[in-house]
Structure formats: structure tokens, C-alpha cells
Chains A and B, each alone.
Chain A
Amino acid sequence: MFGIPRDLIFYTHIATLCAAGCGVVIADKVGFSWFRGKVDTLSSRTLNTLHTLMGVALIGMILSGITLFWPAREYLITQASFYIKMTFVIVLILNAFVIDHLMSVATRMPFRDVSTSQKRFLMISGAVSLCAWVGAATTAFSLFP
């Protein structure tokens, strides 16, 4: 597509996925250290850097994904697993906005001082993020067995 070799786009997609996977692991590690009380607050610079990196990785995956989708669109729109994967992607995009809204809490106060409702939102958001990344990646493999 657009004269770009298909393999290059495919490997860019996979490389971005690996980068995003590393980002998820690091973000979860940092988040758990705050959650378990090992640190009282998190550095806003670290959080912003991680959040931006994950956002860029997600943007890269979506753009390369659209480029891969286009030549195979007639096949893909007939596959249920494609729609499941896209649901995960939409969830990731929406959750990125939720995380953007919530993450500043970790820079202001220790986890123990966070209100119960905010704790619930934070934990649900983290779990949704992890599940959606794993779900989107796993579903992709069933598209091209």
C-alpha cells in the first residue's frame, strides 16, 4: 500500500507491539510499587513519559494496522475475530483517556490515601488495559492461523 512493502509494515506492526508490551510491563511494575506502598508517590515525569510512549505505540499500531487491513479488508470483515480484535482496540483507546484522567492521582498522594471509588477506577482501568492488550494480540493470531 502506498508503495510501502507489505513486509515492512507487518514487521513495524509487530515491533510496535513488542514496544507496547514492554511499556505495559514497565507501567505495571511502576504502578504496583505505588499500589503496594513501596513508594508514596510516582514521578509525574516518569508517568507522562510512559503514558506518551504507550500512546505513540498505540497510534503506530493502529496506523500500521489500517495499512495492513486495507488490502485484506474483504476477507477481514467476514471474520468474527476481527471484530473482537477491533473491540479490544477501541477499549484501549477509550482506556487511554481514562488513564490520562486518573494517573495524576499517583503523583499527588500515596495509594492508601486514595478514596475507595478512585481505587476501584484505577484497578479496573489497569486490568482493562492489560486484558485489552493481551486480547488484541491473541485475537490477531486467530485471524491468520
Chain B
Amino acid sequence: MTKWILGFVGLLLIGVIGYTILTSRSTQATETTGITSAPHETTNPGALNPEATTTPNSTGSTGTTGQTGGTKSGYTLADVATHNSAASCWTVINGKVYDVTSWITQHPGGQQAILSLCGKDGSAAFTEQHGTQSRPNSELATFLIGSLAH
């Protein structure tokens, strides 16, 4: 009996990882398609505005995680700033971008400490509170989604 449950759980593991890889790749492929279509969208120069000009740059390259707003060199602070709520909370710590949405309700120090960092560079607050403590830094690493664009 145990071996059949083990077999099922093993297949479940492979399925979950496979699903994650496939969805991640398909999201990246969608973004890549966005790059190639971007020049066609700008065939009407009159429609081009400064924001549109930046669009191919900000979505045109593949992000490290396949999330929207990624760039080859990383996410911009503007990208991060759009994720400034409990529904989607991104923060920047020491030049890296983290999606800490799922951590808000689990943070031992309370939700407010995380909510105050949403959409912002939280390097100073994080360093002040946790410094080089290994556990918070290990936890933080699990939420990494990319680097901050330079």
C-alpha cells in the first residue's frame, strides 16, 4: 500500500514541477512574442508616446521569472511601485526584487512590517531589522523574482 502511495506522490511531485516549468516557459514565450509585436504596434508614429516608447524596453526582454514587467537587466523601480498592496506586494532589498505577497500574513513580526515595504526599496528597513541574520535572509531568498534594473 505504502509503495503505491509513494508512487502516486512521486508522480504528483513530477507533475507539480513540470507544470511550474511549463507555465513559466509559456509566460516567457508570451513576453517574447510581445517583443516582436511591439515594433508593429508602433507603425503609427503619431501613436507613440514616451510611455509607449519605454514599453518595448520594459517588457521586451525576458524577465528572470516570467512575471510581467521583467527586463533583461531586471525590474525597474516603476515596475515594483505598481505592486504596492496586500494583493500584490513587491519590494526591493539590496538590488534584488522580491514578491513577498504570500509572506504578509506569515511574517512573525506582523503584517504591517511587510505592508510598509510594498512597492518600495525596503533595503534600509530590512537591514536595520534583520541585518545579516541567516533565517530572515534565507526566507527572503525564497521570494526572489529578479534583479533591479540599472
Contact = CB atoms under 8 A, between A and B. Distances in A.
A75 to B, nearest CB: 5
A127 interface: no
A71 B13 contact: no
B116 interface: no
A51 B6 CA distance: 12
A86 B14 CA distance: 9
A65 B2 contact: no
A59 interface: yes
Interface string A77-91: 110000000100110
A37 B2 CA distance: 30
Of the four ranges (under 10, 10 to 19, 20 to 34, 35 or more), the interface on chain A belongs to 20 to 34
B113 interface: no
B29 interface: no
A2 B117 CA distance: 24
Interface in A43-63: 51-52, 55-56, 58-59, 62-63
Interface in B17-59: 17, 20-21, 24
Interface stretch (A18-26, A28-36, A92-100, A107-115): A92-100
B7 A97 contact: yes
A100 B5 CA distance: 14
Given A55-B2, A55-B6, A72-B142, A77 B24 contact: yes
Given A77-B20, A90-B10, A145-B138, A97 B3 contact: yes
B67 A55 contact: no
Chain B interface bracket (under 10, 10 to 19, 20 to 34, 35 or more): 20 to 34
A34 B121 CA distance: 61
Contacts of B143: 71-72, 75
A57 B12 CA distance: 16
B6 A58 contact: yes
Given A62-B9, A90-B14, A97-B7, A74 B24 contact: yes
A144 B141 contact: yes
A74 B9 contact: no
Closest 5 CB pairs of A and B: A72-B142, A55-B2, A93-B10, A74-B65, A144-B138
Interface of B: 2-3, 5-7, 9-10, 12-14, 16-17, 20-21, 24, 64-67, 99, 102, 106, 108, 138, 141-145
